[in-house]
Structure 1
Amino acid sequence: MKNVVIGLLGATMDKRGKGPARWETWRPTVGIFMQQDLLIDRIELLHDARDSRLANNVGADIETVSPDTEVSLRQISFSDPWDFEQVYSTLLDFAENYPFKPDEERYLLHITTGTHVAQICWFLLCEANYIPAQILQTSPDRGERVAAGKYHLIDLDLSKYDAISSRFKRQQLEGTEFLKSGIATRNARFNAMIQQIERVAIRSQAPILITGPTGAGKSQLAGKIFELKKIRGSVKGEFVSINCATLRGDSAMSALFGHNKGAFTGAQTARKGLLAKADQGLLFLDEIGELGLDEQAMLLHAIEEKRFYPVGSDNPAHSDFQLIAGTNRDLQKQVDNGSFREDLLARINLWSYELPGLKDRREDIEPNLDYELQKAEQQLGHKVSFNKAARARFLHFAQQPDSLWQGNFRDLNACVQRMATLSEGGRINETLVDEECERLQHFWRRSGAHESLPLLEDYLSPGQMAEIDTFDQYQLRSVIALCRNSRSLSEAGRQLFNRSRLRKSSSNDSHRLRQYLNKFDLEFDNLKS
């Protein structure tokens, strides 16, 4: 493999000595090429425009001591070499645009030259694997005026050093940013809701009800609430989580409230239930609407009295826990049909928050995409990123009205995992994006085929129903379903006329949709309500 050095020109140290005397003085960049056991095939020497003359002189000296080395001078611009943000951005641009070939070349990042700010930036870029290199540190021989000096190579794979890695990781973000996992979400309504949840989580021990579609992040939010409360010292116990859809029959009572030995057939030993385990902690009951009425009654008693009876026991058990309940169902409708207790809903509904699905937070797709990329990097052990065109193509697809995101953030996580795994060298290109977009659309079409469409009898009079053809009935039902899932008439129109609108010099999709609905005496706002 070829050895390639990347480094900054030392405007002071590389300028030492004039004329023949310069060969008797240690100059860090030139000294690299005077090492007997380090052969360099190419150097990428970055320099400011103001130091072009010095860069040419240093390049010529390198070619003198190492004629087989290719010298590549790269001009960059630091108006303020002590401005951390500016220096980091400039070096990051270089790293992201440089054609690294780690299978063919071995990279050595020279950090001896440049300001301390530049050296720190080099370190951060190398540690994050933006630059797949080892650190090259050079220094003069102590007490000697030897031009070559000496060098050291440092491997920055911190995953090998758990103590170092954990010490420098900052995992505790405060308040709202903590609950959002550090994701810079842009949806104003969502951000306002999280801000209120943060205040409630810190100040209140009352139950919290989190609703929203599957995959909207209810479980993750519950876990983050617990971690925040733990940091603030408002809980001392464990985070106990269970999906109530997995609880059935006698096992539901036993799992939640525990049982005594011999309480039922197969109860060979006593069991401590989840409520007891959550004492002084937080209990998250996901899909609480799946609980049976008996379990609901005992849960209500446990919330209000801080005690309950394990199965087969005459003695109450005590547990002081905070409850977070999650559901994708309409619990009020379940109360109306008798499958959920009204008094339990009233008790857990003091703080109720509905998490919107991904299709209702399209402006948050981009920051969540970056978050999923970071997760993929951690799992795969190397940097993962889109090229510029691929990123733009994916975001365009993701933010279109006809991108359903039925699985919400689970869909986004899955597609990033697939693209990251299939990417070569951690770079996601347009081909991978196109394949993934086609896969998602195919999956959404198949899933949507099984969704029930609205009944026209809910919208049309008997006289209208008698006049409309079966063909038009199927079409109208689909249009109504799409309107109900769209935020505005314009969004529904763009989705319905997504092909023909491209062939028009000007399009008024909302007007076309309004005319269609008027044929049946329907209005968009009435469909939404």
Structure 2
Amino acid sequence: MKKIVVIGFVGTQLDSGKTSGRWEKWRPTVALTQREDLVVHRFELLYTHRHLALVEQLVADIASVSPETKVHPVALDIADPWDFGEVYSALFDFATAYPFNTDEEAYWIHITTGTHVAQICLFLMAEARYLPGLLLQSSPPKRHGINQVGDYALIDLDLSKYDPIARRFAREQSDAIALLKSGIATRNEHFNRVITEIEQVAVRSRAPILLMGPTGAGKSFLARRVYELKKARRQIDGRFVEVNCATLRGDGAASALFGHVKGAFTGAVTARGGLLRSADRGLLFLDEIGELGADEQAMLLKAIEEKTFFPVGGDLEVGSDFQLIAGTHRDLRRDVIAGRFREDLFARINLWTYSLPGLAQRPGDIEPNLDYLLARHSAELGRMVRFSKEARQKYLSFATSPAARWTGNFRDLGASVMRLATLADGGRISDALVDTEIARLRRQWEPGGDARTECIDRLIPAEDLAKIDLFDRLQLESVIRICRESASLSDAGRRLFAVSRSTRASSNDADRLRKYLARFGLNWKSVQAADLATR
């Protein structure tokens, strides 16, 4: 049996008493040594210098009732026993210097005596294992009389030893992971490991999270789920603010993110709070963070580190206490090397980085996601939609084969299921309907015709298309593809004319692109509308 060592503060009120009447009241420190069923080998009695007389009285009283108990008074240099920092520091110094011998001694941390601050500090020290023992809570007897012994209870802060608590924690974690995955029983081992760790990080940390992966891999979806999880745990009470940084271009980017003061620039007739302030006490999801300009990157770094920033044109800092999740399809490490992304900003957001695999790399997850999407679309349509047995087998066989490229990832799968659910007569997806959908997907993924590229014969009438040379047609297809990859007409123009614009005295990329499309009877809206119709 290990020897029992009790560590506790002198109870300046509960342990007090000089006359013989002190034996008729419950004194927690003395009472622990009066029990017939308990032998305390040593008592580490913590006290401050002004209570030395009381300590000497307790040493004598314990010696009279329990000669086998060695009392070791320990004076702590604490001027204010209600000062948390002072008490914790004194206990920390005591614990780090104490020669614990857990092989031969069992340590009980007495939390009944001392100020509330002292009790809290003892709890924290035991929880952190600086004091490697059990918490000891003693209580007075129900009836008063001579030799007031009372009761005591031991508390082990290792929660894994409490089966009901352990099961509850496991259930809570399982529910949280299910929330992050929308209840989809994903089978991909890598993805499941990523989600499990994200759940742990989300509920334990407010540090930035970086989600990497191709477009459509579910970064935005997962960021919103993290927000919902933290809000359900009451760890966050602000808004979820989502920003696609690819849409923030030019002079308006900083204003959109950080706000501006009235009169900051031409047209700033009123002040603007900005998206970062909108995310105060909430979660800010910056998708495609690699598209931010150099100035915005510098301002964002300050906002992340200090929770303060200057609005455009402002002299006074404003604050926003947000948690950041960033998303990107780019390799930011290469961008740092190339000088396109700040190294210090990357270091700040690279603490928790997770790569989300594309759908083509998760063939085993296509079936559960198919069932989830079909149930969701059935609810939206207000009718049950199901595959026939043969149709389901044919669709899954193609969807999990190398022929299914899934270049748009879950966006492609979602669009495919939506088309099947919408066209299913009587709510039944037939074999013939699946054949049509597979043919559509094959055409969509042909070279020059993936999820971001639409054949121009759907945009231009056949009689007009016949008048276009093959050279011009191939060029037009490339231009349309760039338009579909871009957030705005100006963004597409900058990408298409990046070289020639540097040699021009003045440039209007958007106007040049607008005129080019007009040559073929097209405009930005028609190109984008056709794109949406095929998603």
TM-score scaled by length of structure 1:
0.52
Cα shift readout 1:316-371 (whole Å, capped 9, x = no counterpart): 00011100000000101111111100100000000000000000000000000001
CA contact (8 A) 2:283 2:323 kept: yes
Cα shift readout 1:259-305 (whole Å, capped 9, x = no counterpart): 00110011010001111111111000000000001000000000001
TM-superposed CA distance for 1:447, in Å, is 3.7
d(CA) in 1 for partners of 2:451, 2:386:
35
Q: Which amino acid aligns with 2:289?
A: I
Give 1:213's aligned residue: 214
d(CA) in 2 for partners of 1:259, 1:342:
27
Give 2:391's aligned residue: 390
Give 2:246's aligned residue: 245
d(CA) in 2 for partners of 1:184, 1:449:
28
Cα shift readout 1:5-24 (whole Å, capped 9, x = no counterpart): xxxxxxxxxxxxxxxxxxxx
Cα shift readout 1:165-205 (whole Å, capped 9, x = no counterpart): xxxxxxx9821011000000011111111000000000000
d(CA) in 2 for partners of 1:280, 1:230:
11
d(CA) in 2 for partners of 1:206, 1:419:
41
Q: Which amino acid aligns with 1:402?
A: A
Give 2:517's aligned residue: none
CA contact (8 A) 2:244 2:286 kept: yes
CA contact (8 A) 1:173 1:182 kept: no
1:336-355 equivalences under 5 Å are 336-355=337-356
d(CA) in 2 for partners of 1:331, 1:201:
22
TM-superposed CA distance for 1:250, in Å, is 1.4
TM-superposed CA distance for 1:450, in Å, is 12
Give 2:311's aligned residue: 310
Cα shift readout 1:99-138 (whole Å, capped 9, x = no counterpart): xxxxxxxxxxxxxxxxxxxxxxxxxxxxxxxxxxxxxxxx
1:504-515 equivalences under 5 Å are none
TM-superposed CA distance for 1:446, in Å, is 3.5
List gaps (5 residues or longer) in structure 2: 1-172, 453-535
Give 1:375's aligned residue: 376
Q: Which amino acid aligns with 2:326?
A: A
Give 2:285's aligned residue: 284
Q: Which amino acid aligns with 1:369?
A: L
Give 1:414's aligned residue: 415
Cα shift readout 1:48-70 (whole Å, capped 9, x = no counterpart): xxxxxxxxxxxxxxxxxxxxxxx
Cα shift readout 1:217-258 (whole Å, capped 9, x = no counterpart): 000000000000000011111101110000011110000000
The 10-residue stretch of structure 1 (440-449 or 261-270) with the greater mean CA deviation from structure 2 = 440-449
d(CA) in 1 for partners of 2:296, 2:406:
34
CA contact (8 A) 1:210 1:325 kept: yes
Cα shift readout 1:69-123 (whole Å, capped 9, x = no counterpart): xxxxxxxxxxxxxxxxxxxxxxxxxxxxxxxxxxxxxxxxxxxxxxxxxxxxxxx
CA contact (8 A) 2:407 2:451 kept: no
Query: What is the count of residue pairs matched by the alignment?
Result: 280
C-alpha change, 1:218 and 1:415, in structure 2 (3 Å) is same
CA contact (8 A) 1:259 1:311 kept: yes
TM-superposed CA distance for 1:449, in Å, is 8.1
Give 1:494's aligned residue: none
Q: Which amino acid aligns with 2:220?
A: S
1:96-245 equivalences under 5 Å are 174-245=175-246
Q: Which amino acid aligns with 1:396?
A: S
Cα shift readout 1:411-437 (whole Å, capped 9, x = no counterpart): 000011111111101100011100000
Give me the identity figure in percent: 63
List gaps (5 residues or longer) in structure 1: 1-171, 452-529
Give 2:259's aligned residue: 258
CA RMSD for the aligned pairs? 1.6
SS at match of 1:249: coil
SS at match of 2:210: strand
1:63-78 equivalences under 5 Å are none
Q: Which amino acid aligns with 1:301?
A: K
Q: Which amino acid aligns with 1:210?
A: L
CA contact (8 A) 2:241 2:283 kept: yes
Give 1:294's aligned residue: 295
CA contact (8 A) 2:308 2:317 kept: yes
Give 2:331's aligned residue: 330
Q: Which amino acid aligns with 1:188?
A: E
SS at match of 1:192: helix
Give 2:362's aligned residue: 361
TM-superposed CA distance for 1:448, in Å, is 6.4
1:383-462 equivalences under 5 Å are 383-447=384-448
CA contact (8 A) 2:443 2:449 kept: no
